[in-house]
Amino acid sequence: MAGISKSRRLLRLKQVYGPQGRIPVGRSMFYDKFVNTGRLRLVPLGERAKAAIEDEVDAIVNEIIAERDA
């Protein structure tokens, strides 16, 4: 599997948003600002379960910090 980074992990949505998540916002704001706008694409794990790719979440956190610093 050449070209695929070994650091790419799937994060459950509880790890991504919420009080303990990397993006500390609620579910509605998370979907409105990140998922529905296409900034973050979720990976289906099953019929109802979804996850996010760790590298993409980290990129969004970096974007948020850059917006603050601008």
Asked if residue 1 belongs to a domain, the reply is no
34 is a domain residue: yes
Domain of 23 in residue numbering reads as 10-69
Question: pLDDT, tens digit, for every residue of 20-70?
Answer: 999 999 999 999 999 999 999 999 999 999 999 999 999 999 999 999 999
Q: Is residue 27 situated within a structural domain?
A: yes
User: What pLDDT is recorded for position 8?
Assistant: 82
Tell me, yes or no, whether 57 lies in a domain. Answer: yes
* Whole-number Å distance between alpha carbons of 70 and 68: 6
pLDDT band at 1 (very low <50, low <70, confident <90, very high): very low
Q: Which of 36, 37, 30, 33 is nearest to 11 (CA)?
A: 30
Could you tell me which residue, 46 or 5, shows the higher pLDDT?
46
* The predicted structure's pLDDT at residue 39: 94
Residue 4 lies in a domain: no
